[in-house]
Structure 1
Amino acid sequence: MTDKRSAGVAATAALLQRLLTTTPQYMRTWRVHGQRARGEVNQRAVARVLAQVEYERGDISDPTDPLVIRRLKNSVHRAFAGRSLPGQLLADFIEGFNMTPDDQGNLWRTLTGSHAVEGTIRTSRAHGKRQWHRTLSLFEHWYIDERSALSRRRTVQCVEALEDGVDSYLYNHEPHATQIDVIHGGRLGRHYEYGEGLISDDIVLDRVLGKGERASFEYQTFYEPDRRVTEVRRPARKRTYNPSLHVHFPRNALPRSVWFAVWEDHYLGMHIRETPLALSDSGTAAYCLEHMEQTVIGFRWEW
């Protein structure tokens, strides 16, 4: 680990522990599973919070399994000691404790030094409707199967209305998507196809938002089988805060190299810049930003 990375991990570990011991809503979350240990955060209790995140994501079948709790407790111990804090683990902390956008941004900024990607889209594509919301937090998970195909994409998002009457979110997605399931927070609405190859679907929210009101929702996208891919992209028109991106590979089919990448278009063209990434032990690459705007970001890899 480089000196810069080591310093970022140590500083993030200190910030994370401070948040978990001084923020009432975060303290309540872990104290359900155990009281303070010697005046500090109870690491086993935190491990139980993280186990629930893995369970809801589908990574484990039993969040109370002692082996799972022991594995996560060891991860928490290494993180709090400032020795190891992979991006996926920090993302799980953020999700498990439902951290505020400000806290999310501070944590990612401290860990990675990454701030923003803006203004790389040179030619705007036509869209089905204007954007009447802003995204406050975004968790994207792409799942690659053993045949090197994109099998599933899971998205968790929180939006804030910029005006009264916001009743839907326009989801721009890959053209080879075959099915979209809204897990909670809304239902699938109108479908759009454009001459330039952009395809979108409305997610109709459970309730109509007034200006400044917020809604969270989760949805999954499924794709044509056996379609080999070497990249995934996520576009943003207006500013999207705290995007947290993850691509998951099966342990028996890992890529040779993987990069966080930035493009000028939703689907066309080569990447314009990239950052090499290391895979976690579970086969996941992760990258997070404070915000993105008028850009396309994601991952690319080589087998």
Structure 2
Amino acid sequence: MALEDGVDTYTHNPRDNLAEIVVVTGGTLAEIRESAPGFVSVEFRLTPPLAKHEPTSLQYISTYYPTSNPRTEVRRAARGRAENVDMRVCFEGVKPQRAWWTVWDSYLGGTPVHTEEVEITEIGELHRFVPYIEQTVVGFRWDW
């Protein structure tokens, strides 16, 4: 939900082994640029721009290059309030052995403050829907 009139962008900061990002609905890809070490900054242009208190739905698919040191987590930070958060991680080929929905005390580094084991589906997907997140960092962790 927009906190002011004219909100027209959303920024996402994935790891720097991002291979492709495709917008499914809610906007267009505006820019990808270098960010902090180990990350890139992806800017989405929301279509249409939002009026104050107007909700939107942005859905995108990120694909990553394989690395010699595979990731074991995906985090998303909410500085303000984000409602109806639907998060999925899909694995191709090898699936993790175990996975957890996790809340951390910070985006970089940080310590898990809540962990809940989640099912890895037969097709290799982790999924969690939460009604909202606010001033928090959430995501999935897994063991190979």
The TM-score, its normalising length taken from structure 2, stands at 0.76
Match of 2:134 in 1: 293
Shift in Å, 1:209: 2.5
Q: Which has the higher contact order (CA 8 A, sep 6+)?
A: 2
Match of 2:21 in 1: 180
Shift in Å, 1:245: 2.6
CA RMSD, 1 decimal: 2.7
Per-residue deviation, residues 184-234 of structure 1 (Å, max 9, x unmatched): 332222445445765422211232322233433332222222451222112
SS at match of 1:211: coil
Counterparts of 1:290 and 1:182, CA distance in 2? 22
Task: Choose between structure 1 and 2: higher helix proportion.
Answer: 1
Aligned length in residues? 143
Shift in Å, 1:277: 2.3
Shift in Å, 1:296: 1.3
Is structure 2 residue 70 aligned with structure 1 residue 239?
no
Shift in Å, 1:272: 3.4
SS at match of 1:260: strand
Shift in Å, 1:257: 1.8
Is structure 2 residue 114 aligned with structure 1 residue 273?
yes
SS at match of 1:258: strand
Q: Quick one: which amino acid aligns to residue 239 of structure 1?
A: R
Match of 1:260 in 2: 101
Q: 1:198 to 1:282 in 2, by over 3 A?
A: closer
Higher gyration radius (CA): 1
Q: Work out whether residues 15 and 38 of structure 2, in 8 Å CA contact, stay in contact via their aligned partners in 1.
A: no
Counterparts of 2:34 and 2:67, CA distance in 1? 24
Is structure 2 residue 59 aligned with structure 1 residue 230?
no
The TM-score, its normalising length taken from structure 1, stands at 0.41
Counterparts of 1:230 and 1:211, CA distance in 2? 37
Shift in Å, 1:241: 1.7
Per-residue deviation, residues 256-294 of structure 1 (Å, max 9, x unmatched): 221111222323244333112233344333333232112
Mark the runs of 5 or more structure 1 residues left unpaired by the alignment.
Answer: 1-159
